[in-house]
Each structure stands twice: as structure tokens, then as C-alpha cells.
Chains A and B, each alone.
Chain A
Amino acid sequence: MNYMDYLKTQDFPLFWCGGCGNGAVLGAIVRSFAALCYSKEETVVVTGIGCWGKADDYVTTNSFHGTHGRALAFATGIKLANPKLQVVVLMGDGDGVTIGGNHFIHAARRNVDVTAILVNNYNYGMTGGQYSGSTPLNSITSTSRYGHIEEGFDICQLAIAAGAPFVARTSSDDPLAMQRFITAGLNKKGFSLIEVIAPCPTHFGKNNGMRNAADLMKWVKERSISVARAHTMNEEELALKLIMGILTDTEREDYGSKYSRVIAAAQEGRRDIK
């Protein structure tokens, strides 16, 4: 398969702002689909609301465009109803872990076999650059003109704490890592999260003195360290660092597989699911 087959190029150019990282993430996704020879009929892209939530407009697979913050809950129903489907959930930092935080931690805890690709651009881009649950302390946004007084949480640590078996982070300047982690996540049986730090030059960038995408991406690059190097650093050194790489990759039986054992027990009149 050619990755372009997964794109609705008749609707191009993409509506995202110049320099926004979303398109590069979409590229890594469709290249992963092509590498894995995903059938369009068996793939469902589930989105919520936000800039990244518009991504389903551009894919030629099945799509489900739901409500803000609830993509993972819709995806849970889709995947459990038909386990043969490849369910990919696209959310931003606002959609995924701010309004969607409750569904995020429970989808990870429940370990439903879906792949969450969360683009973190540190603010709500679509609605005009307001701060989200991931916006760093002191950042200027359209709702924190005096400097943000809250600290954004570490999305990957949140997923790991909730029990996600596969969690990786990279940034949109690194297309090879994006594709590698997305492919690994898609292949993972269970809840997998790939966080991609991406620039929002129009709002977060402009509000924080980094008018063009490249400046923002370099600001991220400077704070990025590998998982290996992170192990050598203490708490204090790690403070403002972004650990990039595969942060966890464990085996946990996914919800659907376990539930098929519930079905077997129920149909055989047993009350114990071995």
C-alpha cells in the first residue's frame, strides 16, 4: 500500500496553520498504516474535537468524529463490539487529557486494545490558544495573560500510572521516531499511547516569543533527552526535561481478550474465568 492511499488529498491543502505539527504526525500515521498494510475497511480513526480532531476529514479509512474529550470512550465501544478492527484514537492535549482526562486514565487502566496518538501543543489551538492541562507554568496564553499559575502534568507518566502497557513520547521534528513508535503502538495488543510534542506557532508560539514553528520545535529539542540519559539524571536535573523514547513496553492482557474468557465461562455455566 502507498501511504497516500490513506489520505483524502482532494480535500488538501490541510486546514492546519503553517508550521503546525499535526500534518507531520498524520504523515507518520499513514506511513505506519502503509507499512503494516492496514485495510481501510478494518481501520477506524476516532477523533474528538480540536485542531487534531479534524484529522479524520483527511483519512480514507472508516472514521468516527465524536465529542470533545470522549474519543477514547467511543473507541472503547467500537473496539469491544468488533475486536478485528484497528482502532486509532487521535486527540490533542485538551481533548485527550484535560476534558478527556477521566476517559484517558480509565481507558489505560481498563487496557482496551486501542492506539491513542496524542498531539501535545501545550494549548487549546482551535478555540484561540487558551491553556490546557499540559500548558507549562508561567506560559502566556489567551487565558493566562499574566503568566500561567498552574503546572501541566506529564501525560506519559499519567498513562503509565493508570496502567498503560505501551507509552512513548517523541516530537514532530523526528518523523522516523514518530513512525517507529506509532507502528509499535499499533502492533501492541492493549492500550498504547504515543505522545507527540508539536508546535502551535499561531497561538502558543506567538504568545511565548516563538513566532515560527522552527523556534518552538528547537525550544522542545533543547529540553529533550533520551530515556537512557534520563536514568543518569537526578530529580532536580530532570525537572524541565522532556524524556523522549519508549517509556514503558510491558505485557498486559487486554480487556477484550479477558472478556472472551468471561464469555466462555458464562456460556459453560462456570463462575471462574481461568
Chain B
Amino acid sequence: MTLKKNIFAMGNEAITEGALAAGARFYAGYPITPSSEIAERSSIRLPQLGGMFVQMEDEIGSIAAVIGASAAGVKSYTATSGPGFSLMQENLGVAVMGEIPCVIVNVQRSGPSTGLATKPAQGDVMQAKWGTHGDHGIIALSPSSVQECYDLTIRAFNLAELYRTPVILLADEIIGHMREGYCPHLPKEIIERKKPLCANRDYKPYDFCGEENEIAPLAAFGSEYITRINGSGHDESGNACGRLDNADKFIRHYHEKFQKNRDDIIETKSFDLQDAEYAIITFGCSVRSGKAALKLARQKGIKVGLLQLVTIWPFPYEQVAKICEQVQGVVVPEMNLGQIQGEIRKVCPTHCSLWGINRVDSQMITPYEILAKLEEAAI
């Protein structure tokens, strides 16, 4: 797809095309509303590009197949929603500990449990970070438009390959199912995982110490390098290892490798923040209502700006702290009971008030609800 002109498409379609543009050639997944269009389109488009699609028996098998294919050298992805994302958590840990690049699209829906299957929500923020057990870091990006569905899926693959990690694309039913014009441009950059250059017998798939960004080269099964991938405690060579110092080193590594590279990973977008006395901080579908509220408030003379969190994890504490320092009050609209607000509170100074707008009735937050809070605050 090297079209330059805009096409009118669904978010889920743009996510699929973004994956293909990024070089993904393997999808393993399980149907679940509101993500199934990604599976359907992938099942048609992947074979056209010589790639493969397989529908597995459940989401546990789906993410396992994705991780297996990536370990065999093929960029791989899956798409799901809350219930499937919950089933994927244990194997997500294998991608974390095995340091295997892959992309998991979570088109969030109203939970918990089966919830309101066709309705939107943004309640899986903490699950994206803490869903799989144990200490670790992870990357999660959140699109707020069909264009960002395309762009952020490409970025998700690039970050996954660069940092040998699973990347969660935290979309939602609104963004996934809405249609909008977008340009499926050629990606500015396609990153491939770092390949080993050493002699065959010296290759160690987890020897990250000598690497400047703390990421070891990753060979593929079938290359000249024997590769041992291990979802249990292992040493540099991938051999099982229970030594205390080794465990300490690796578990800190699964966190540090994101902290060391925060500046590259974290992305936010600012709107009218220069002279802002109030700020809206939000992500995903709620950004759209936030932008509309921003216009309305400015027309009423309220100096408000908007900070869009494109990267959710690792959380953009520095960017958020800078805004909270500058303004008197921050409004946080999100379709959950305050999962992002909780993170903002960690860096919000006492002089800055913090108001959440929290809808969990499966209806999108409206611009007027946000405007009303700003007007109330700005009196």
C-alpha cells in the first residue's frame, strides 16, 4: 500500500495496514468483538504479501503462536479485547522474559468480565502494565484517531524490534470501529531487530551487558546461530539458571531497559499549552472530546491546553509533572474510574487541583462534560 492520498477507513483496518507496512507477516488470533475486523482483514491481506494467518483455539494459543513465529524471525501480531487480553497475560510474560518482539492490539471494551461486548471503555490501562505477574516494564501506546491507528502500529513494531519487547497497542472500540480519512504513507522508518555479528558459537541471546541500549542481538531459529529462548529464569546463553545474582540482574533488566530508553519511547502531543492555566490530560478516544472541549473553553476565554498521552507505558511522568507545575488545575477524562489520574497524582504538586471525569456507563465522555468542569474550575 504505497498510496499517498487519504482513504476513508475503519480504525481496525488502519491498524492492520500499519502492521503490514511495518513488515509484519504473521498473525495468530482469536475472534473477539470489537477487534475481529483486524483478524478478518489480516486473513485476507497477509497471504497476499506471502505472510501467514492462523486462527488459534483460544487467546492463550494465539499469543503463544505469535511469540513462536517471532522467535523464528517473523514480525508477528495479534488483536483482542479485554477477555482475550486477560487470557494472554501469562504468555505475555514469556515475551517479557524471553525478550521476544511482538505487538498485541487490545481494542478495549466495557468490562470487567464479558461486560458490554460491543461498547467502549478504557479500563485496561493497569492491566496493560501489570496484567502479567512479576516485576517488569512494558510499552503501551494509545491511538486517538484512525491515522494514529496506522502510525502507532508502525511505531509499536519499531519499538518492539528495537527493545526486544511486547508492545501493547491500547486502542478502544470507538477508535477501532470509527471511520475517518487517513494516509497509509510509507513508514519513515522500519526497524529490524539487532542481529548478532559474533562467531556462531559465541552467540548468547541474552548478553545485554555490553550493549549501549541494554538490548542484546536476537538471532532467529534457523539462522547460523543456535538460539535458546527461555521463559524461565535463565542466564546470558538462555540456559536455565537459578543463581541469585543472575535473577536480580535480569529482573532489574526487564525494567531498566525501558527506563534507560524513556526519551526515545515516550511520546506525548501538546495542544495550546503555552499560556495554559488549566490542562486536560487524556488518551485514546477521550482525546477527541478533550480537543472539542479545548476549542469551546478557549472561545469562552478559559486558558486551557491539552496534553495527549500517546505513550501510556512507560508512563510520561516528566511531561505530566511539567504541565501540573505550570497550571492551577488538571482535568483527566477517561472511560474508567481514574487509572491514568492515579498516575498523574504521583507527580501532581499540591497547588494544582486534579479532577477526574470518569464514565463507565459505556458511553463516550462528551466535550460538554469536560467544558462544564473547566467552567466550574475557572470561576
Contacts and interface: CB of A to CB of B under 8 A. Distances in A.
B222 A41 contact: yes
Contact of B65 (A44, A49, A77): A77
Given A44-B221, A82-B221, A64 B68 contact: yes
A137 interface: no
A40 B227 CA distance: 10
A81 B239 contact: no
A197 B90 CA distance: 30
Interface residues of A, number: 42
Interface in A41-65: 41-42, 44, 46, 49, 54, 56-57, 60-65
B106 interface: no
A77 B67 contact: yes
Given A56-B228, A65-B240, A266 B221 contact: no
B230 A65 contact: yes
A220 interface: no
A60 B47 contact: no
A103 B61 contact: yes
Dominant secondary structure at the A interface: helix
A80 interface: yes
Contact of B240 (A54, A75, A84): A54
A159 B67 CA distance: 25
B96 to A, nearest CB: 12
B114 interface: no
Given A80-B26, A82-B73, A85-B72, A267 B47 contact: yes
Contacts of B47: 259, 262-263, 265-267
Given A67-B90, A67-B94, A102-B58, A81 B52 contact: yes
A78 B230 contact: no
Given A42-B222, A82-B222, A65 B56 contact: no
Nearest to B93: A67
Interface in B44-100: 44, 47-48, 50-52, 54, 56-58, 60-62, 64-74, 76, 90-91, 93-94
B31 to A, nearest CB: 15
Contacts of A67: 64, 90-91, 93-94, 231
A85 B60 CA distance: 23
Contacts, number: 146
Contact of A78 (B60, B61, B69): B69
B224 interface: yes
Would you call the interface of chain B mostly helix, strand, loop, or mixed? mixed
A86 to B, nearest CB: 10
A62 B221 contact: yes
Interface string B235-279: 000111000000000000000000000000000000000000000
B23 to A, nearest CB: 13
Interface string A223-252: 000000000000000000000000000000
Contacts of A24: none
B60 A80 contact: no
A230 B77 CA distance: 47
A75 B66 CA distance: 10
A78 B238 CA distance: 17
Given A54-B240, A66-B231, A77 B221 contact: no
Given A60-B226, A63-B228, A80-B52, A74 B221 contact: no
B72 A77 contact: yes
A147 to B, nearest CB: 32
A106 B64 CA distance: 14
Nearest to A105: B57
Nearest to A271: B44
Given A70-B64, A73-B62, 12 more contacts: A41-B226, A44-B72, A61-B226, A62-B222, A62-B228, A75-B68, A77-B68, A78-B69, A81-B70, A85-B72, A106-B57, A267-B50
17 contacts: A54-B240, A62-B222, A64-B221, A64-B229, A66-B67, A73-B64, A76-B61, A79-B68, A80-B54, A81-B69, A82-B220, A82-B221, A85-B221, A102-B58, A106-B56, A106-B61, A263-B47
